[in-house]
A and B are shown apart, each in its own frame.
Chain A
Amino acid sequence: MVGTDPDNESAPPLLSVRGVSKSFPGVRALHDVTLTVRAGEVHALTGENGSGKSTLSKVIGGVHKPDAGHLEIDGVRRSLTGPADALRHGIVMISQELTLAPTLSVAENIYLGRAPRTRWGAVDWAAMRRAARTVLDDLSVHVDETDRVGDLSVELQQEIEIARAVSSDARLLILDEATSSLSEAAAARLLELIAEQSARGIAVLMISHRMPELYACATTATVLRDGSLVATVPLPETPEPELVRLMVGRELGDYYGEREVELGEVVLEARELATDDGALRPTSLTVRRGEIVGVAGLVGSGKAELGLALAGAVAAQGSVQVNGERVGLSSPRKALASGIAFVPDDRKRSALLPVRSVAENFAVSWLGGLSRFGLLRVRDERRQVDRAIRTYGVVTSSAANRISHLSGGNQQKVVLGRVFDLGCDVYVLSEPTRGVDVGAKSDIYRLLHGIVEKGAAVILISSELPELLGMCDRIVVFFEGEIRGEFAGEEMEETRIAEVAVSGGPSLPAAPGTA
């Protein structure tokens, strides 16, 4: 299938999108978009949330039919009848939502719906396992083909999706935010896989909010804004500020912003905090008012568990004090009552009430404060919701809209805003900008500055180093369940932090944090 010679410029491109428009009732999602993808090319599709990237990728993937315009595959005009038809043409979509069957084995997932048969028509299990092993070895994915997929990490599951795509003779991989739920290291590994595939002549259409990723892999970027094509530019030749300007249509200025904060007294003191499952080993950390402390580390390093333990969301031992008062660690309710608010990393799974309105998603954090004599003060609630929508810059036509109809950035502003309105002393934020576009990211950073200027403290747990470097006064780095490095001011360098995160550090700097 990978017959097209990637160097042969005269051959018709693998995929041409010609003047495609697509409208949904009330919304023009795409307007006259033209795009060309050649074999072996990694093509970035960029733009803010709502710019039409996903709609375009769904048109290419056969999910949506264009209202106007058409697709050409190998120079032949095609009208895709559905995702299965796209698959027959070698177009495979991989999104952040995994489409694996969690209770089946790795091999069964790779060959889902196309299991090899014996001559009697039964599934040829031995052949399936052998074939899966070969594919996994080719991609050097270190997983047993008989493992149950649901027991594997998100990273490995994502790699298995890639393995499935590769083994199905894919010619065009569409990656829609495929790395957004991965740590930096796992994302890097995924990008390596992508690079290998493109070297073999497979084309990749990549949607990502992570700029460094696009610059690392892509050779071309197509920018969409409000459903229209803005430009197609070469990468990495086009500088990042220029690309961002094309995406948002304005200068973003300093992305991370500045703040004027005097560090105050110690507000949070954690001593020998450890989770019962051992993922977080006894860790001590002190945070002062007005401070943003970054928490770096790979997935499984214990950085996520630090957040969960402080929030009372996992079983943990040790002591945590806020303003000198001991915090109950047994439930999020107790942590909140002591002034620790927590925003989890997985918005969809742990933060949103998907079928409820914007208003109810705000108010779910405020129920205690909004009630009197057991009744909800509905008018106060409405007032506070309206004010929060404006204060946190949530774009929605009505507070009664379902939260699931909002873009990721706007959902995240609701999730952050509802806890910021509580006036807590400590905010533990896990991956607060995951899956959020550049414009909304920069809004969120400004909200963070604002909240510490008011005297709160923020513990910012993030897999994105640039974000930590841009926002934090101090960064602690987790490795194997404990803090192995602590950097402040001039010492905060990407390479030094990454070194500790990956290997535990060159040598331990005078026992930072841990006892």
Chain B
Amino acid sequence: MSNSVTREVPAPPGATPASAGGGAAPRRRRLSLGGSAGIVAGLVILCGYLAITQPIFLTWGNITNIVLSNSVILLLAIGATFVIIAGGIDLSAASAGTACAMVLGLGLSSGLGAVTALLLTLLAGLLIGVVNGALISYLRISFLVVTLGTLSILESIALVSNQGTTISVFELEAFQGVYHFTLDRIGGVPILMIFDVVVVAAAVLILRYTPFGRSVFAIGSNPEAARLNGINVALTMLGVYVIAGLAAALAGIVQVGRLTAASPAVDSTLLLTVIAAVLIGGTAYTGGEGGVGGTVLGVLFLGVIQNGLTLSEVSTFWRGTVNGLVLIVAVALGVARHSGLFRRRKGKVS
């Protein structure tokens, strides 16, 4: 038999016969930001405050600066959104990004062409994703154990790869393409910003409009139900970690472009900022809920706060405190919303 979904089923008990086409109940369109109303409000208030107190805030230069300087975080966070929705977490994300940056740096400095070096970098990200995913879904090792392990391994490999020293690529001919990609603008709009938008759109498409994306939600919500409904759970999980690996490769490329160098040191706060952004954006750490739209808001929220602190000449040492507070408050508000404190309860009586 085929998985045909069109076959009609016998007349229902006590239900009106289904009239094909018409008569669908009026339906509330679900916004992808539906669960993120709080973060949108917070972002608007924050921007309003900064616009009034810091004249420079609303300038195009400052706005693009916020987006560009948070691109690495955004790319990693998009990968992390897939993983967290699927019910896992990828602790190796930041280390993977750094390792991929080193692959690009070494590739360029050893005389490879730009395209070859970039493909090699993406291949490295893919490989990291396959290793993480295969260990987790086929060998059934806990995602915490696997990604904690690869976090440490990748961090160390990045250091070993060039004896712990930074590779400067600024002078290299092959680097110029990457450099212009992260620096240039088309009609005032940075190419990198356009690239970010394209990646976000692709991620939204995959997550919401493909069977794969739906399977990710199903697995995060109830892996056993997903399996019994014919979803290939192991393969889907592998795909999720591959996406995270590719996101790390993109982040590594952008990092090299913006620094004009490949640094082997993993930014110790990067991973936590990425996960915080995903959670602030309304993706549930318990899996099955969330979206890329929310993650974009989460990244922007943290980015704008960071920008505001800089503009207000507050010491950057405070950054972690503010990020931590925002994370706790945002997730607490999200929990409160779900438990119905701020919303009319649904009619669940029985």
What residues of chain A have their CB less than 8 Å away from a CB belonging to chain B?
A: 24-27, 29, 49-55, 227, 311, 313, 322-323, 331-333, 336-339, 342, 344, 349-357, 360, 363-371, 374-376, 378, 382-384, 386-387, 389-393, 398-402, 405, 407-408, 417-418, 420-425, 442-443, 446-447, 449-451, 453-454
B134 touches A (CB below 8 Å): no
B9-17, B268-276, B327-335: which lies at the interface: B9-17
Chain B residue contacts of A376, Cβ below 8 A:
209-211, 213-214
Q: Do B221 and A386 touch across chains, with their CB atoms under 8 A apart?
A: no
With the chains together, A195 CA to B280 CA distance in Å?
53
In the complex, besides A422-B5, A450-B11, 15 extra interface pairs with C-beta distance below 8 angstroms are A27-B348, A336-B3, A351-B228, A354-B221, A354-B288, A360-B217, A364-B218, A374-B211, A376-B210, A376-B213, A383-B24, A422-B3, A423-B9, A443-B14, A454-B9
B9 touches A424 (CB 8 A): no
| B104-112, B308-316, B339-347 - the one binding chain A | B339-347
Is the beta-carbon distance between A354 and B350 smaller than 8 angstroms? Answer: no
Known: A26-B347, A52-B349. Is A337-B230 also a contact (CB below 8 A)? yes
User: Is the pair B28, A451 in contact by a Cβ cutoff of 8 Å?
Assistant: no
Return the contact of B211 from the options A332, A371, A391, A447 (Cβ within 8 A). A371
Residue of A nearest to B11 (CB): A450
> B residues 237-295 with Cβ under 8 Å of A?
284, 286, 288-289
Q: Complex Cα distance A24/B211, Å?
A: 37
A69 CA / B284 CA spacing, docked (Å): 40
B344, A26: Cβ atoms closer than 8 Å:
yes
B225, CB-defined interface residue at 8 Å: yes
Which residues of A lie under 8 Å from residue B222 when comparing CB positions?
Answer: 349-354
**B1 in the interface, Cβ–Cβ < 8 Å?**
yes
Q: Mark B21-36, 1 if CB is under 8 A from A, else 0.
A: 1001101101000000
Report how many residues on chain B are interfacial, defined by Cβ distance under 8 Å.
55
Chain B residues near A311 (CB, 8 Å)?
228
Residues on A with C-beta less than 8 A from B213 are: 376
Q: Which of A365, A423, A449, A454 contacts B229, CB < 8 Å?
A: A365
| A353-B217, A453-B10 as given contacts; A424 in contact with B1, CB under 8 Å | yes
Nearest A residue to B2, CB-CB: A369
Task: Return the chain B residue nearest A355 by Cβ.
Answer: B288
Cross-chain contact A390 with B16 (CB below 8 angstroms): yes
A123 nearest CB across to chain B (Å): 32
> What residues of chain A lie closer than 8 Å to B227, measured between beta carbons?
313, 331-332
Contact of B15 among A50, A390, A418 (CB under 8 A): A390
Q: A25-B344, A364-B229 are in contact. Are A55 and B1 (CB under 8 A)?
A: no
Q: B68 CB to closest chain A CB, in angstroms?
A: 31
The docked-state distance in angstroms from the alpha carbon of A357 to that of B28 is 12
Of the candidates A27, A337, A366, A391, which one forms a contact with B12 in the assembled complex, judged by CB atoms under 8 Å apart?
A: A391
Q: How far is the CB of A264 from chain B (nearest CB, A)?
A: 15
3 pairs of A and B residues whose beta carbons are closest in the complex: A450-B10, A423-B7, A369-B5
Bound complex: CA of A391 vs CA of B6, how far in Å?
Answer: 13
Do A50 and B349 form a contact, CB below 8 Å, given A364-B218, A375-B210, A399-B27? yes
A356 touches B221 (CB 8 A): yes
**CB proximity to A under 8 Å, residues B9-65:** 9-16, 18, 20-21, 24-25, 27-28, 30
Partner of A333, one of B1, B14, B232, B345: B232
Answer whether A333 and B15 are a contact pair too, CB < 8 Å, given A369-B3, A375-B209, A400-B27: no
Q: Give the CA-CA distance A333 to B6 in the complex, in Å.
A: 19
In this assembly, does B224 line the interface, its C-beta being within 8 Å of a C-beta of chain A?
A: yes
- Closest chain B residue to A420 by CB distance? B9
Select A392's contact among B15, B224, B284, B347, beta carbons within 8 Å.
B15
Contact status B18-A390, CB under 8 Å: yes
Bound complex: CA of A369 vs CA of B214, how far in Å?
A: 13
How far does the alpha carbon of A305 sit from the alpha carbon of B253 in the complex, in Å?
52
Q: Given A336-B230, A367-B231, A454-B10 in contact, is the A53-B214 Cβ separation under 8 Å? A: no
> Hey, which chain B residues are within 8 Å of A393, CB to CB?
12-15
Contacts known (A353-B288, A355-B284); A370 close to B221, Cβ less than 8 A: no
- Say yes or no: is B4 at the interface (Cβ < 8 Å to chain A): yes
- Contact assessment for A364 and B28 in the assembled complex, using a CB-CB cutoff below 8 Å: no
Q: Which residue of A lies closest to B205 (CB)?
A: A375
B215 within 8 A of A: yes
User: B33 to chain A: closest CB distance in Å?
Assistant: 15
Q: Is there an interface contact between B350 and A50, defined as CB atoms closer than 8 Å?
A: yes
A371 with B210, Cβ < 8 A, contacts A353-B288, A365-B229 known: yes
Does B226 touch A at the CB level, under 8 Å? yes
Q: Which residues of A contact B228 (CB under 8 A)?
A: 311, 313, 332, 342, 344, 350-351
Q: Are B13 and A360 in contact (CB under 8 A)?
A: no
Q: How far is the CA of A268 from the CA of B258 in the complex (A)?
A: 63
Report whether B12 and A368 are in contact in the complex, using a CB–CB cutoff of 8 Å: no
Q: How far is the CA of A451 from the CA of B10 in the complex (A)?
A: 6
Q: How far is the CB of B238 from chain A (nearest CB, A)?
A: 15
| Across-interface contacts of A402 in B (CB, < 8 A) | 346
Question: How far is B288's CA from A443's CA once the two chains are assembled, in angstroms?
Answer: 31
Q: B25 to chain A: which residues have CB within 8 Å?
A: 386, 389, 398-399
Docked complex Cα distance between A452 and B243 (Å): 44
- The smallest beta-carbon distance between B290 and chain A, in angstroms, is 10
Contacts of B231 in A (CB 8 A): 333, 364, 367
CA distance A393 to B15 in the complex (A): 5
User: Given A354-B222, A375-B209, is A27 in contact with B345 using a C-beta cutoff of 8 Å?
Assistant: yes
Q: Which residues of A have CB within 8 Å of B5? A: 366, 369-370, 384, 421-423
Across-interface contacts of B344 in A (CB, < 8 A): 25-26
A residues near B230, Cβ cutoff 8 Å: 332-333, 336-337, 365, 368
A352–B349 touching, CB < 8 Å = no
Shortest Cβ gap from B28 to chain A (Å): 6
User: Complex formed: what's the CA distance from A336 to B230 in Å?
Assistant: 7
Asked if A387 and B347 sit within 8 Å, CB to CB, the answer is: no
Chain A hits for B348, CB < 8 A? 27, 405, 407
**B215: which A residues are within 8 A, CB to CB?**
367
| Contacting residues, chain B, for A336 (C-beta < 8 A) | 3, 229-230
Given A355-B289, A401-B346; A339-B1 close (CB under 8 Å): yes
